[in-house]
Amino acid sequence: MASHRRPKQPSRARVTVLTTAAAAAVAISAQAASAAPSEKPSKDEVKAKVDKLYEEAEQATEKYNGAKEKQERLQKDISTIQDSVARGQEELNELRDSIGLAAAAQYRSGSIDSSVQLFLSADPDDYLDKASTLDQLSGQQVEALKKIQEKQRQLAQERSEAAGKLKDLAATRTELGKKKKEVQGKLAEAQKLLNSLTAAEKAAMAAEDARASRSASSRVDLGNSKAASGRAAAAFSAAQSKIGSPYVYGASGPSSFDCSGLTSWAYAQAGVSIPRTSQAQANAGMRVSRSELQVGDLVLFYGDLHHVGLYAGNGQVLHAPRTGTTVRYESIDNMPFQFGVRI
């Protein structure tokens, strides 16, 4: 007789294990799908990202230049103050020696003046403040003590000023290091993107940049615009002599430049000193509108004024664009123009 026993049902524990295993398999599959390599960016996409990183690097570069300029100014100020303190200390020592000689002479004669004794005490300021003793001093001694007091106050003030500037210098050096690291980080990130390209893509991009530099250097119609002044003409001529020089962040010539390094170097060749950074150069002269631009005027770009060049005439600017390029002409319309500055 056939058996009519019901088939054995799986236990609840077995069902739970199977369900968990199935869920895990689904999760692993989903993770594998998400971990699958994304589509490689195109050459144009890489170029756009690299250009953006170069722009960010230039922003950081101008901040780096500002910190570097401040560091140099502080070092010069501190050196000047320290020299003044050294000279002041010598004068103070001479004043003290003169009083000391007078005291020695009185000691040898056996009649040292009580006022000199008080002066030789640890606190001559306190002595001078006591009006009751002033009549014990000769006019010459009073004058000598007053000079010593004034010199002591002056030296204390200068030492305090030097200490403050030294503290500021330490903070500036820290800021300089951070900005330098930021620039290097942006450039390294850009290089990593470039390294992701194939050899053929790298060659094509390099060829495009080379063509842009050649056409911007030799095929530009500058029109017949006049220079804003003799010094502007001299500065522009100096900058023209550097066409083809490479962009290097923090460089201010004579063989490589960043944007504000080129403009400050060019005007220095014309005998004019202007600030080092683009933001400071924006306030170095009279602001002019686009329609008022003349050859040699500074031209500021971007809302934060992190880029500067020299107006070349006919809607062209001569500048050091960014890492990977050289000093060249470029249309003023290629960047967000803000205003011009006439030096």
DSSP 8-state assignment for residue 338:
E
Burial of 175 by CB count in 10 Å (0-12 exposed, 13-18 middle, 19+ buried)? middle
Length of the chain equals: 343
What is the spatial order of strands in the sheet that 286-288 belongs to?
Answer: 286-288, 337-342, 298-301, 307-313, 316-319, 328-331
User: Helix 199-218 vs helix 43-109: angle between axes, to the nearest 10 degrees?
Assistant: 70
- Using alpha carbons, select from 212, 144, 180 the residue that is nearest to residue 61: 180
Helix (H, G, I), strand (E, B) or coil at 101: helix
Q: Which residue of the set 319, 322, 328, 342 is catalytic?
A: 319
Backbone angles phi, psi at 86, to 5 degrees: -60, -45
Do residues 172 and 155 make contact, with C-beta atoms less than 8 angstroms apart?
no
Catalytic residue of the set 68, 70, 276, 307:
307
- Residue environment code for 117-134, b if the CB has 16+ CB neighbours within 10 A, otherwise e: ebbeeeebeebbeeeeee
Distance CA 41, CA 129 (A): 81
The CB-based long-range contact list for 184-192 (8 Å cut-off, 24+ gap) reads: 186/53, 186/54, 186/56, 186/57, 186/60, 187/53, 187/54, 187/57, 187/249, 187/323, 189/53, 190/49, 190/50, 190/53, 190/54, 190/57, 190/323
Distance between CA atoms of residues 161 and 168, nearest Å: 11
How far CA 196 is from CA of 40, 53, 200, in Å, comes to: 9, 15, 12
307 is catalytic: yes
Catalytic, 4? Answer no
Catalytic residue (choose from 259, 262, 282, 341): 259
Active site residues: 259, 307, 319
